[in-house]
Amino acid sequence: MSIVSREEIAGALRRREFVLYYQPKVSLTSNRIVGAEALVRWQRPDGTLLPASAFIGAIERAGLLKSLTRRLLPQLVHDLVDGGLAEQFQVSFNVCSCDLENSTLTSMILDAIVRGGLPPAALELEITETQALQAAPCVLYNVQALTEAGIGLAMDDYGIGYSSIDTLSQWPFTTIKLDQGIVVRMLDSPKNATIVRSSIRLGHELGLEVVAEGVETLAQHDFLVEAGCGVAQGFLISRALPLEGFKAFCAAAGKCRGLPVGLVHMAIVDHVQWRRQLASFAIRRAALPPDAPLRQSAGHPTLCVTKCSLGRWYLNEGRYFAGTPTYHALDAPHRRLHEIGARIVERIRAGAGQADIAPLMRELKQVSLVLIGLLEDIEDDGFESLFTPAAAIHASRPLAAPLAPAVMPAMLHERS
C-alpha cells in the first residue's frame, strides 16, 4: 500500500471521509449485546474502505490525530443521541493522551452532556496503558473531570505493559480490556492463560468491567466464560459495522453457549475471602486486652447479607440459576453465616478472648463449608449445561430479558 501523505489526510478530513463503525460487545453472563467500540474507517472516494491500521500511523506522523478525534466526536454524539444508541448501549471511543493535553476535547464532551442530551454513562473513553503511563499531569486532570461527570474510562491493551496494576491504582478506570494478543495465545500458553484468569479476578476484586478483545473462536469464548470474564468483542461476534448495520445486528435474535458459570467460582472465592477476613479480625482482636479500644474499631467484613460479595452475586448474576433447588438452598446457610459473624463481632467488642469465640468460629467454618458445597454443585451443573448437546438451548436463556443477539461466527479479514 502506498504511503499516505499529509495532504491526502488533510483533504480527507475536510471532505469528512473518516467515518465511525461499531463493533458489538456481548455480555458473557446474559448473552445480550451490551455495547460497542466505535472504530474509525476511511471511506475513500473510489469506494474502498480502509481500516484504522492502514492510516492511523500516518495521521500520527502528520500531527493530525487531535483533528481526527475532534472531527469524529460530533458524529459519535449524533449516533448516540439521535441514532438511538445511548438508549441501550455504552459505546467506547479511543483517545490518546495528546487529545487530553488541553481542555478542548474535555469541553466538547462536557458540552455534549449539558447541551446535547448525551447521557454520560453511554460513553466510555479508551486509553492505552502506555499512553496513561506517559501522560502529563494535565491529562489525568482532564480525565478525572470526565469520569466525575459519569463518563466511563477503559484501559485498552491491558496486559502488555509493565506496570498495569500501578496505573490502575492511579487512574479512575472503570474497565480493563484484555489485549487481543493475550486472548489469542491463552489457549496455547499456560502463562497467558494464568494472566487472563488473574486479570479477570483482579478486575472483579476492583469492581471493574473486564472486556476481552479479539475473540475469534468458540474455544476462546468458552475459556472466557469459565474464567468469569464479563464481556467479549471480536469476529466471533461480529466485525465492525456501520450504524444501521449495527442496529440491525442487535435487532436479530441468536443463540450463545455462554452462561455465568465462571462467576460462580468468583462467588466461591469471594466467600472464602470474606470468611478469612472475619477470622483474621476475630483472632487478632480477641488476643487484645478486654478493654482495648481497638476491639471497638471496624475492620471486619460487611455483616449485611445483601451487601457482601456473595449476597450481591445471589441477587444479580446468580439469579440465572434461580430455577434450581440448589440456588434457593443457599439462602438459609448464608443468612446463618452472617448471624454467626455478627455474634462474633459482638462478643469481641464485649471483651471475649480466643477461647470464648472458638465455638462460634468452628460453627462459622461448618456453615461456610455447606455454602461452598452448594456453590460447587451449582458450578458443576453449570458446566454440564454448557458442554452438553442441549447446551445451546439451555444456555441461551437470558437472566431477566427477552433473548437478544449473541455470538455469531463471522471470521473475517480484519481485527479492528
pLDDT at position 390 is 47
The string of pLDDT tens digits covering residues 221-275 is 989 988 889 899 999 999 999 999 999 998 874 545 556 777 888 899 999 999 9
Percent of the chain exceeding pLDDT 90 equals 64
The string of pLDDT tens digits covering residues 311-339 is 999 998 888 888 889 999 999 999 999 99
Q: Looking at 129, 213, 226, 317, which residue is catalytic? A: 213
Q: Which amino acid, one-letter code, is at 163?
A: S
Query: What's the grid cell of residue 86?
Result: 445511548
Radius of gyration (Cα) for the chain, nearest Å?
25
Q: What share of the chain is helix, strand, coil (3-state, %, to 5)?
A: 55, 10, 35
Least confident of 2-6, 14-18, 154-158, 378-382: 2-6
pLDDT at position 259 is 66
Q: Reply yes or no on whether the pLDDT at 169 is more than 90.
A: no
Which residue from 236, 225, 159 is spatially nearest to 198, judged by alpha carbons? 159
Query: What's the grid cell of residue 229?
Result: 470474564
pLDDT at position 119 is 95
The string of pLDDT tens digits covering residues 391-413 is 443 444 333 333 333 333 332 33
Q: What are the residue ranges spanned by the domains of the chain?
A: 6-256, 262-393
Which CATH homologous superfamily contains domain 6-256? EAL domain (3.20.20.450)
The pTM assigned to this predicted structure is: 0.78
pLDDT at position 263 is 82
CATH of 262-393, one of 3.20.20.70, 3.30.420.10, 1.10.10.10, 1.20.120.30: 1.20.120.30
- Cβ-count burial 219-252 (b if 16+ within 10 Å, e if not): ebbbbbbbbbbbbbbbbbbbbbbbbeebbebbee
Question: Is there a catalytic annotation at residue 213?
Answer: yes
pLDDT at position 411 is 29
> Quick one: which H or E segment has residue 43?
strand 33-43
